[in-house]
Amino acid sequence: MSLKGTTILGVRIGKRVTIGGDGQVTMGNTIIKHNATKIRTLGNGKVLAGFAGSTADALTLFERFEGKFEKFAGNLPRAAVELAKDWRSDRILRRLEAMLAVMDENASFFISGTGDVVQPEDDIISLGSGGPYALAAAYAFLAAGYDDPTKIVKGSLEIAGKICLYTNTNITIATL
């Protein structure tokens, strides 16, 4: 699922985890907000999450994910799978138009309403229209020897903001 209008990037190096997102909100071809926050810290500070898509839908999914995370005693993979199962099978949730990225010190997952729960191979997760640009930049920073996930996320989102029409450089970052 590719959603326009945002860029989320998360990077894990060892146990150091950072996720960031741009602040631009668009409706069609009009920018309506420059400083939205598209990332959250969940699970009593143990999980970083970001979204692409409808804000109201994402907030609903953040709540549902946090409930699953608590129900399964902080087991991120299990919480991700259970949310995806509910999202796909529940008549109301099935209509939600968003995609989540969730990360803790040990794992990262994309979660979608089609039942996808994907763990990226390289501890880098990206979402949204600017996601491919930020992902490419993150790989370049890693290849150049950068080892600070916060610097990688910030630099990569700044690059994406210069390329993607639906992404700006008003960046919010959270770390574990």
Look at residue 1 and tell me whether its pLDDT is greater than 60.
Answer: no
pLDDT tens digits, 132-160 = 999 999 999 999 999 999 999 999 999 99
Q: State both tokens at 170.
A: 């008003």
Residue 104 lies in a domain: yes
Which residues are paired to 20 by β-bridges? 9, 173
Return the pLDDT at 4: 57
State the Cα–Cα distance between residues 93 and 90, nearest whole angstrom. Answer: 5
Write the Ramachandran bin of 145: left for phi over 0, alpha for psi from -120 to 50, otherwise beta: left
Q: Which CATH number covers residue 99?
A: 3.60.20.10
43 contacts: CB under 8 Å, gap ≥ 6:
66, 69, 70, 74, 104
Q: 8-20 as b/e, with b when 16 or more CB fall inside 10 Å?
A: bbbbbbeeebbbb
Helix (H) or strand (E) holding 42: strand 39-42
* Positive or negative: CA dihedral 155, 52, 107, 112: negative
Active site residue 6: yes
Structure tokens at 7: 């860029």
Question: Domain for residue 61, yes or no?
Answer: yes
The answer to whether residue 92 is domain-embedded is yes
**What is the sign of the dihedral through the CA atoms of 66, 75, 176 and 8?**
negative
Range of the domain at 27: 8-168
Rounded to the nearest 10 degrees, how much is the dihedral formed by the CA atoms of 23, 26, 30, 31? -10
Q: 85 lies in a domain? A: yes
Confirm whether 1 is domain-assigned: no
What percentage of the chain reaches a pLDDT higher than 70? Answer: 96
Residue 115 reports pLDDT greater than 50: yes
Rounded CA-CA distance 172/90 in Å is 32
Question: Residue 174 falls within a domain, yes or no?
Answer: no
The amino acid occupying position 34 is H
76 in a structural domain:
yes
- Kindly tell me if the per-residue pLDDT of 44 is higher than 50: yes
Residue tagged active-site, from 6, 7, 18, 167: 6
Pairing status of strand 172-175 against strand 124-127: unpaired
Domain count, the chain: 1
Structure pTM? 0.92
The verdict on residue 21 lying in a domain is yes
